Amino acid sequence: MKHTISVLLQNKPGVLSRVTGLFSGRGFNIESLSVAETMEPSISCLTLVTRGDESIIEQITKQLHKLIDVIKVTDVGDSEYVEREMVLIRVKAEAQTRAEVLRVIDIFRGKVVDVSPKSYAVEVTGSASKVQAIIDILKPIGIQEIVRTGTIAMARASKK
């Protein structure tokens, strides 16, 4: 099963390689990983998406927590949460497909961020499945390049 795990860690050189080294060394898999500073510049937030059964996820969380530079580990899926990913897609846009591409972008509430005579570069934000959906739809038209950020996630605030 897919799990989104959020990790707060010391913002120091080498910390990211401690995390990735742990995953490669113990044979855990990483589907996506994204990391940046938090409000506190000395602390980074890392979001990673991984797959595994319950016992593997338990090991992943515990092993992450065991790293000295890790402050907090949360399996975001343990409560309600929102997740987002951004993708930049360069898609072929020639005379006969330009209008069609724009319609698709509009449906996905995307934005054209770069235009050339033969292509558009498009920005789309959403859940990983929404991002995958627009990629699948644009593929037959001719995708030239894709860059994805990987998922980031945040727990929903308490409704009470």
Residues that bind other proteins (CB under 8 A): 9-10, 13-14, 17-18, 21-22, 25, 55, 58-59, 62-63, 65-66, 68-71
**Residue among 107, 113, 65 at smallest CA distance from 89:** 113
Closest CB to other proteins among 52 and 142? 52
In angstroms, what is the minimal distance from the CB of 14 to other proteins?
A: 7
Place of tokens 């859940």: 127
Q: Are 127 and 32 in contact (CB under 8 A)?
A: no
Closest CB to other proteins among 9 and 101? 9
Closest CB to other proteins among 13 and 117? 13
In angstroms, what is the minimal distance from the CB of 25 to other proteins?
A: 5
Q: Which residue type occupies 150?
A: G
Query: How are the residues of the chain apportioned to helix, strand and coil, as percentages rounded to the nearest 5?
Result: 30, 40, 25
In angstroms, what is the minimal distance from the CB of 154 to other proteins?
A: 21
In angstroms, what is the minimal distance from the CB of 12 to other proteins?
A: 10
- Provide φ and ψ at 101, rounded to 5°: -60, -45
Closest CB to other proteins among 31 and 69? 69
Q: Which residue type occupies 66?
A: K
Structure tokens at 39: 């409000």
Closest CB to other proteins among 2 and 66? 66
In angstroms, what is the minimal distance from the CB of 29 to other proteins?
A: 17
| Cα–Cα dist 63/61, whole Å | 6
